[in-house]
Amino acid sequence: MDLFHARLMPYLESLVPPRHPVLEEMEARARATGFPIVGPAVGQLFYVLTRLAGARRVFEMGSGYGYSTAWFALAVRENGGGVVHHVVWDPQLSRDAQQYLGRMGLVSVVRFHVAEAVEYLASLHEAFDVVFNDIEKPAYPDALPVIKSHLRSGGLLLADNVLWYGRVLDRGARDAATEAIRQFTRAVFTDPDFAATVVPLRDGVLVAYRR
Measure the CA–CA gap between 85 and 89, rounded to whole angstroms: 13
Q: Does 131 bind ligand SAM (CB under 6 A)?
A: no
Measure the CA–CA gap between 71 and 43, rounded to whole angstroms: 6
Q: Does 93 bind ligand SAM (CB under 6 A)?
A: yes
Measure the CA–CA gap between 48 and 78, rounded to whole angstroms: 11
Nearer to ligand SAM, 48 or 195 (CB): 48
Find the shortest distance in angstroms from Cβ 46 to ligand SAM.
Answer: 9
Q: Does 185 bind ligand SAM (CB under 6 A)?
A: no
Q: Helix 39-53 vs helix 8-15: angle between axes, to the nearest 10 degrees?
A: 50
**Per-residue three-class SS string for 110-178:** EEEEECCHHHHHHCCCCCEEEEEECCCHHHHHHHHHHHHHCEEEEEEEEEECCCHHHHHHCCCCCCHHH
Q: Does 12 bind ligand SAM (CB under 6 A)?
A: no
Task: Draw the binding track, 31-60, toward ligand SAM (x: CB under 6 A; -: no contact).
Answer: -----xxx----------------------
Nearer to ligand SAM, 84 or 151 (CB): 84
Q: Which of 13, 27, 96, 136 binds ligand SAM (CB under 6 A)?
A: 136
Q: Which of 67, 112, 164, 184 binds ligand SAM (CB under 6 A)?
A: 67
Measure the CA–CA gap between 160 and 94, rounded to whole angstroms: 20
Q: Does 62 bind ligand SAM (CB under 6 A)?
A: yes
Residue 182 near residue 168 (C-beta atoms within 8 A): yes
Nearer to ligand SAM, 41 or 93 (CB): 93
The helix (run of H) or strand (run of E) holding residue 14 is: helix 8-15
82 secondary structure, DSSP code: -
- With 0-12 / 13-18 / 19 or more C-beta atoms within 10 angstroms meaning exposed / middle / buried, residue 120 is middle
Q: Which of 84, 88, 158, 205 binds ligand SAM (CB under 6 A)?
A: 88
Find the shortest distance in angstroms from Cβ 115 to ligand SAM.
Answer: 7
Phi, psi at 55, each rounded to 5° = -65, 140
From 4-12, 15-23, 47-55, 88-96, span contacting ligand SAM (CB under 6 A): 88-96
* Contacting positions for ligand SAM (CB under 6 A): 36-38, 62-64, 67-68, 87-90, 93, 116-118, 134-136, 139
